[in-house]
């Protein structure tokens, strides 16, 4: 932390004013985050540079000149001018990773304030869903449901955040030990919905697991899931641009509505999703990547993606994809799914 820098009070109004949509993602600017955390921009970026292995491109990227000029034109402020370098921006995942990088009493206090404020925004939407117009509620849900760590269930203790984020991001290559898995199951029993699951025997947030799976696709993604909802769509926003997505479902319970589907497609125009009927024969859930290619993969999902992380569940890769070919070939011939 740098001395003589005034502490910024984190409020809902502050966050709403400092969150921008760039490349279809919600991001915050490096110099505005530096201000929140009590750093100069240079010092802030030094801390990030010293831990650059934690910040992949989906966590942090540098704006182009055109993107920054566009933001400046929208913001109507002179305080952004005169910068020698184009600013970096941090996605939601990147902002949570910052909490494990920035040290000191103020950093911990501000991290807690950010979590509480994000939670307050999300709780307001849930508590007032009957007061907010239906379309407005959908738009708000799309903007907030994609939080990587489901902060509604995170502890306010920054030590907990550092431990969990470090476990997930720094040790994804380590298989969970039996004792770790036991602790994981106990956490579910004691705390209920906490947004975490087991992905290929690794302790992981639900959002991160689906993001890691979808990002592997090069050509196509097939999702076979009879119980779908808005969250099913939002998780698919992590798919690479240009990948064709087909969602096979009978939409049991009618949880996904046509208005939600249309609004999502408007919000994310680069995501190409086709809806087809599943045919009433599937109970399990599957994700199929790049069917019929050398990159072909299939994952078995213990729960619908709309409920990912809500109960004890796991996602595992099945390496015997040949046995699924007759089923997948049949699915591809099914008619389109119509939503109410």
Calpha distance 148→164 (Å, rounded)? 13
Instruction: Give me the residues paired with residue 300 across strands.
Output: 286, 316
| Confidence at residue 339, expressed as pLDDT on a 0 to 100 scale | 92
pTM of the predicted protein model: 0.50
| Confidence at residue 288, expressed as pLDDT on a 0 to 100 scale | 97
Q: Which mean pLDDT values do the consecutive 10-residue runs of the chain (340 residues) have?
A: 62 82 86 88 91 89 89 71 80 81 80 73 50 48 46 45 48 43 49 66 81 94 93 89 95 89 88 93 91 94 84 86 91 94
Looking at residue 336, the DSSP 8-state letter turns out to be B
Calpha distance 38→49 (Å, rounded)? 17
Distance in Å from the first CA to the final CA of the chain: 53
| Confidence at residue 200, expressed as pLDDT on a 0 to 100 scale | 80
Residue with token string 């999702």 = 223
Calpha distance 33→332 (Å, rounded)? 47
Strand, helix or coil for residue 266? helix
Residues in Cβ contact with 340 at an 8 Å cutoff, skipping those fewer than 6 apart: 254, 257, 258
Neighbours of 190 (CB within 10 A): 8
Task: State the DSSP string of 35-88.
Answer: HHHT--HHHHHHHHHHTGGG--TTTEEEPPHHHHHHHHHHHT-STT-S-SSPPE
Instruction: Give me the residues paired with residue 301 across strands.
Output: 285, 315
- Angle (CA) 227 233 237, round 5°: 150
Calpha distance 127→124 (Å, rounded)? 5
**Residue 60 and residue 88 in contact, taking contact as beta carbons nearer than 8 Å:** yes
| Confidence at residue 330, expressed as pLDDT on a 0 to 100 scale | 93
- What is the rounded radius of gyration, in angstroms, for the C-alpha atoms of the chain? 21
| Confidence at residue 38, expressed as pLDDT on a 0 to 100 scale | 86
- What tokens does 275 get? 């809806």
| Confidence at residue 79, expressed as pLDDT on a 0 to 100 scale | 63
- What tokens does 243 get? 């990948």
| Confidence at residue 103, expressed as pLDDT on a 0 to 100 scale | 77
| Confidence at residue 294, expressed as pLDDT on a 0 to 100 scale | 92
Instruction: Give me the residues paired with residue 220 across strands.
Output: 244
User: Which of 92, 23, 99, 96 shows the shortest CA–CA distance to 62?
Assistant: 23
Calpha distance 28→89 (Å, rounded)? 5
Please write the tens of the pLDDT for every residue from 56-96.
Answer: 888 899 999 888 888 888 776 656 766 678 999 998 778 87
Calpha distance 73→157 (Å, rounded)? 38
């Amino acid at each position: 932390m740098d001395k003589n820098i005034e502490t910024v009070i984190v409020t809902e109004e502050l966050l709403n004013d400092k969150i921008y949509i760039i490349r279809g993602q919600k991001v915050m600017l490096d110099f505005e985050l530096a201000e929140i955390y009590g750093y100069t921009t240079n010092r802030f970026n030094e801390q990030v540079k010293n831990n650059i292995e934690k910040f992949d491109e989906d966590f942090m990227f540098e704006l182009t000149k055109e993107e920054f000029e566009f933001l400046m034109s929208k913001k109507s402020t002179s305080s952004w001018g005169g910068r020698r370098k184009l600013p970096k921006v941090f996605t939601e995942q990147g902002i949570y990773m910052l909490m494990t990088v920035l040290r000191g009493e103020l950093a911990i206090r501000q991290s807690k304030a950010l979590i509480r404020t994000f939670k307050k925004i999300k709780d307001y939407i849930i508590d007032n869903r009957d007061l907010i117009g239906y379309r407005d509620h959908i738009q708000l849900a799309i903007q907030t449901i994609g939080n990587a760590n489901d902060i509604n269930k995170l502890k306010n203790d920054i030590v907990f955040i550092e431990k969990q984020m470090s476990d997930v991001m720094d040790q994804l290559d380590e298989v969970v030990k039996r004792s770790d898995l036991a602790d994981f199951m106990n956490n579910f029993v004691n705390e209920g919905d906490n947004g975490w699951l087991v992905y290929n025997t690794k302790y992981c947030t639900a959002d991160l697991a689906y993001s890691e799976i979808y990002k592997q696709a090069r050509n196509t993604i097939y999702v076979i899931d009879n119980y779908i909802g808005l969250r099913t769509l939002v998780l698919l926003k992590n798919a690479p641009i240009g990948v064709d997505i087909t969602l096979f479902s009978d939409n049991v319970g009618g949880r996904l509505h046509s208005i939600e589907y249309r609004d999502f497609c408007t919000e994310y125009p680069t995501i190409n999703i086709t809806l087809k009927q599943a045919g009433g024969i599937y109970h399990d859930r599957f994700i199929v990547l790049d069917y019929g290619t050398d990159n072909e993969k299939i994952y078995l999902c213990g729960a619908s993606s709309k409920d990912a992380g809500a109960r004890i569940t796991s996602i595992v890769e099945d390496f015997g994809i040949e046995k699924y070919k007759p089923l997948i070939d049949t699915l591809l011939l099914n008619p389109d799914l119509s939503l109410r």
